């Protein structure tokens, strides 16, 4: 099911259903007591339907859940296509990972019914809805039967209605990094009353560490490096720089291809090999870039890695990643690689990768960022993303070469 269809259904059918559920909860709540988190919960569900990069940004939240509720089983509900990342990062036990298939409307409805019945049989103590103003995720949190429901509320903002049945709600804050806000959802679990007016929440800083890791043995990394050098001999003599030029499901997040071509050409001329990474769908773009660059050191690695784990090993074998805003920039934070990432339609201040090995590249144009929780990530620039087009390639190339040269000097000094 394409993203526009999902938005249409969520907006119109979602609001109607949220209104009905809210009326029901309000009526039945007249005869009950407010839901409270038990001292020792047994089962907590996290609903995380967003892109794969958000799973990495939620790492500190999962770590905090494990610290705060060590005896609870942490369940995750996500889209089927994103489960590989959660398994790789060991966010929870495999038996506690649940999925929805959004490839078609029928498959999605069928899975929603199945998982709702399953969660009711498990007996959840609480559910955390990490989606911002999605109605389907809010309805899912109710359908699970969990008495404590945590999620974001629009409070008095018009046009973002998702019902009033999230009984431990917090406001979405457009001025705080999303990882910090995910931690606020954990704080809301045992809040005595529903927020947003809760004044007892913990004071937190934006996390620096994802608290996630993927373990590789030295032998595993050496074997992969040998395979890379065998498949692409140019990487034996040249340090490898990775470039992800694709825009994914939001092409307006992509820096212009001709800008990438200029940077890649400059890197190749300076003695580096450049690997163009991405999914098989990005192969056409990669071939176009190769043709523009015209250098044998520019490699088409789209589809080369068969899994996220292989992508991480490729990052271990590389010195620098230059990428659009997307999953690769977040996956890089669990490897030693340095990253340069372009932001424009969205902002690194809210969604930037965690850690100290990332350089955020933004133009600062007045209309940027334009994709927000308030417009359901629909841009008004009609694809003319001036916020990214105005980031000139030559300064980016200079910055990349400066890092690579400094890293080379440090490595030689250490040797």
Considering Cα of 213, then 251, then 361, then 405, what sign does the dihedral take?
A: positive
Q: Give the pLDDT confidence score for residue 158 in this predicted structure.
A: 79
Q: What is the DSSP string of 347-362?
A: -HHHHPPSSSSEEEE-
Q: Does residue 55 belong to any structural domain of this protein?
A: yes
Q: Give the pLDDT confidence score for residue 196 in this predicted structure.
A: 52
How confident is the model over 121-153, as pLDDT tens digits?
999 999 999 999 899 999 999 999 999 999 998
Least confident of 185-189, 252-256, 408-412: 408-412
Query: What's the pLDDT band for 395 if we cut at 50, 70, 90?
Result: very high
368-376, long-range: CB < 8 A, 24+ apart: 368/344, 369/343, 369/344, 369/345, 370/345, 371/250, 371/252, 371/345, 371/346, 372/174, 373/132, 373/133, 373/152, 373/160, 373/172, 373/174, 374/133, 374/157, 374/159, 374/160, 374/174, 376/7, 376/11, 376/133
Domain boundary among 189, 209, 226: 189
How confident is the model over 372-392, as pLDDT tens digits?
888 877 888 878 999 999 999
Q: Is 129:157 a contact under the CB 8 Å cutoff?
A: no
Q: Give me the percent of the chain exceeding a pLDDT of 70.
A: 96
The label of the residue with tokens 């907006």 reads: 11
Structure tokens belonging to residue 38: 């038990």
Query: What's the pLDDT band for 414 if we cut at 50, 70, 90?
Result: low
Q: Give the pLDDT confidence score for residue 284 in this predicted structure.
A: 96
Domain boundary among 189, 205, 234: 189
CA atoms of 106 and 245, how far apart (whole Å): 33
Question: The domain spanning residue 278 has which CATH number?
Answer: 3.40.50.2000
Structure tokens belonging to residue 355: 């850690």
Same domain, 382 and 333: yes
The whole-number average pLDDT for the span 300-322 is 97
Same domain, 167 and 300: no
Same domain, 134 and 26: yes
Q: Give the pLDDT confidence score for residue 273 in this predicted structure.
A: 98
Q: Tell me the pLDDT of the chain averaged across its residues.
A: 92
Same domain, 243 and 167: no
The whole-number average pLDDT for the span 78-107 is 94
The whole-number average pLDDT for the span 295-305 is 96
Same domain, 340 and 408: yes
pTM over 0.75: yes
pLDDT at 183 over 90: yes
pLDDT at 70 over 90: yes
Q: Give the pLDDT confidence score for residue 379 in this predicted structure.
A: 84
Same domain, 154 and 265: no
Domain boundary among 145, 172, 189: 189
Burial class (CB in 10 A: 0-12, 13-18, 19+), 309: middle
Q: Give the pLDDT confidence score for residue 200 in this predicted structure.
A: 62
The whole-number average pLDDT for the span 337-355 is 96
Same domain, 107 and 227: no
Query: What's the pLDDT band for 33 if we cut at 50, 70, 90?
Result: confident
Residue with the bigger pLDDT between 303 and 203: it is 303
Question: Which segments of 159-288 are extended strands (E)?
Answer: 168-171, 240-244, 273-276
**Number of domains, the chain:** 2
Q: Give the pLDDT confidence score for residue 352 in this predicted structure.
A: 97
Same domain, 164 and 266: no
List CB contacts of 317: < 8 A, sequence separation 6 or more.
Answer: 221, 224, 225, 228, 235, 240
Same domain, 229 and 174: no
Q: Does residue 80 belong to any structural domain of this protein?
A: yes
Same domain, 26 and 98: yes
pLDDT at 410 over 80: no
Domain holding 150, by residue range, is 3-189
Which stretches of 294-392 are DSSP H helices?
308-316, 327-331, 348-351, 386-389
Q: Give the pLDDT confidence score for residue 194 in this predicted structure.
A: 61
Same domain, 177 and 222: no
CA atoms of 160 and 154, how far apart (whole Å): 6
Same domain, 390 and 249: yes
Q: Give the pLDDT confidence score for residue 413 in this predicted structure.
A: 64
Q: Give the pLDDT confidence score for residue 198 in this predicted structure.
A: 52
pLDDT at 197 over 60: no
Q: Does residue 197 belong to any structural domain of this protein?
A: no
Q: Does residue 199 belong to any structural domain of this protein?
A: no
The whole-number average pLDDT for the span 296-324 is 97
* Winning range, highest mean pLDDT, from 56-65, 100-109, 244-253: 56-65
């Amino acid at each position: 099911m394409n993203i526009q269809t999902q938005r249409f259904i969520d907006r119109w059918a979602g609001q109607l259903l949220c209104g009905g559920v809210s009326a029901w909860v309000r009526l039945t709540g007249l005869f009950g007591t407010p839901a409270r988190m038990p001292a020792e919960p047994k089962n907590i569900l996290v609903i995380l339907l967003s892109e794969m990069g958000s799973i990495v940004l939620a790492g500190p939240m999962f770590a905090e859940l494990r610290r705060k509720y060590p005896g609870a089983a942490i369940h995750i509900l996500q889209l089927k296509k994103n489960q590989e990342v959660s398994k790789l990062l060991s966010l929870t036990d495999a038996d506690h990972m649940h999925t929805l298939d959004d490839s078609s409307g029928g498959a999605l409805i069928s899975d929603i019914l199945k998982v709702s019945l399953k969660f009711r049989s498990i007996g959840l103590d609480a559910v955390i809805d990490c989606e911002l103003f999605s109605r389907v995720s809010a309805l899912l949190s109710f359908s699970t039967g969990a008495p404590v429901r945590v999620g974001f509320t629009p409070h008095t903002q018009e046009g973002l209605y998702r019902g009033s049945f999230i009984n431990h709600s917090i406001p979405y804050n457009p001025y705080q990094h999303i990882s910090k806000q995910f931690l606020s959802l954990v704080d809301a679990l045992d809040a005595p009353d529903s927020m947003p007016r809760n004044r007892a929440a913990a004071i937190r800083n934006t996390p620096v560490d994802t608290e996630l890791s993927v373990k590789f043995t030295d032998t595993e990394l050496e074997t992969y490096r040998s395979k890379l050098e065998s498949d692409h001999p140019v990487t034996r003599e040249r340090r490898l720089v990775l470039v992800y030029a694709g825009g994914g499901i939001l092409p307006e997040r992509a820096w212009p291809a001709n800008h990438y071509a200029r940077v890649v050409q400059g890197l190749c001329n300076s003695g580096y090999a450049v690997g163009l990474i991405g999914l098989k769908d990005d192969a056409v773009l990669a071939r176009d870039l190769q043709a523009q660059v015209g250098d044998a050191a520019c490699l088409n690695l789209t589809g080369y890695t068969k899994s996220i784990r292989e992508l991480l090993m490729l990052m271990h074998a590389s010195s620098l990643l230059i990428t659009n805003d997307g999953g690769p920039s977040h996956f890089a934070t669990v490897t030693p690689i340095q990253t340069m990432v372009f932001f424009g339609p969205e902002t690194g201040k809210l969604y930037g990768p965690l850690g100290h090995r990332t350089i955020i590249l933004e133009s600062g144009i007045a209309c940027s960022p334009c994709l927000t929780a308030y417009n359901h990530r629909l841009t008004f620039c009609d694809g003319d993303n001036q916020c990214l087009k105005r980031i000139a390639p030559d300064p980016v190339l200079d910055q990349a070469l400066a890092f690579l040269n400094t890293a080379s000097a440090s490595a030689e000094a250490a040797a």
